[in-house]
A and B are shown apart, each in its own frame.
Chain A
Amino acid sequence: GESVGLHLPTLSVQEGDNSIINCAYSNSASDYFIWYKQESGKGPQFIIDIRSNMDKRQGQRVTVLLNKTVKHLSLQIAATQPGDSAVYFCAENIGGTGGTSYGKLTFGQGTILTVHP
């Protein structure tokens, strides 16, 4: 029979454009968020993180924005390059005083970014 898999959102951009990848997270108690990049055949690679007491954090060519009111996270990549082509995952963590949720990350389904030269 036909297999059904995840239908990941896709974003196609031209080299040099800015990219914005969005993520809606699920738990209002989440207090730590990470963006990962996964290239084909490799493990997820850390890009940038943000704690819930912040609404913006910048790295090299990347910016993460956090809107806790609507539980939304975005990753902005400036001057996107072909090497940025990958699947991008957001992940949320519920911290707190311990218990089994301690340190657990919940990953989103991912967004496929394709950068055309």
Chain B
Amino acid sequence: DAGVIQSPRHEVTEMGQEVTLRCKPISGHDYLFWYRQTMMRGLELLIYFNNNVPIDDSGMPEDRFSAKMPNASFSTLKIQPSEPRDSAVYFCASSRGRDQETQYFGPGTRLLVL
């Protein structure tokens, strides 16, 4: 299995630009999670989906952030407009199903907003 795939691996953009991060979960996994990792706050859950439906988006920082999962094999996290404080590593993870299931992480997208 290829594991969770994320793209791009690195993104440098200017403040005010739109940023779209992409994730392909492990085939057969029906939970998908978006996390953000910073030195200041550690690893934070932003939003998660079950069967392509957003279940909990309470971790999304503000309306500039949005996430979609149009099908079982693809999700996007969009930031519009981006700000320097959005600079972080964004991880996507997926799991097979119900609770007590291991989440498998992708390699992350390192975002730098200038």
Q: CB within 8 Å of B: which residues of A?
A: 3-6, 31-32, 34, 36, 42-46, 49, 51, 89, 93-96, 100, 102-110
Contact = CB atoms under 8 A, between A and B. Distances in A.
Interface stretch (B12-20, B35-43, B68-76): B35-43
Interface string B91-110: 10101001111111111100
A103 B102 contact: no
Contact of A43 (B91, B99, B101): B91
Given A42-B107, A43-B105, A100-B55, A32 B42 contact: no
Q: Which 8 A-B pairs have the closest CB atoms?
A: A43-B105, A5-B39, A95-B99, A100-B56, A32-B100, A107-B43, A44-B105, A43-B108
A63 B112 CA distance: 38
B99 A6 contact: no
A104 B48 contact: yes
Given A6-B39, A42-B108, A89-B43, A105 B56 contact: no
Contact of A103 (B43, B48, B107): B48
Given A32-B100, A95-B99, A96-B99, A102 B55 contact: yes
A6 B55 contact: no
Interface of A is mostly: loop
Nearest to A44: B105
B60 interface: no
B93 to A, nearest CB: 8
Contact of A93 (B4, B99, B104): B99
21 contacts: A5-B39, A31-B100, A43-B91, A43-B105, A43-B107, A44-B105, A45-B105, A46-B102, A46-B104, A49-B102, A89-B43, A93-B99, A95-B99, A100-B58, A103-B55, A103-B95, A103-B98, A103-B99, A103-B101, A107-B42, A110-B43
B113 interface: no
Question: A6, A32, A104 — which one has the most chain B CB atoms within 10 A of its CB?
Answer: A104
A105 B100 CA distance: 9
Contact of A104 (B39, B42, B56, B105): B56
Interface string B48-84: 1010000110100000000000000000000000000
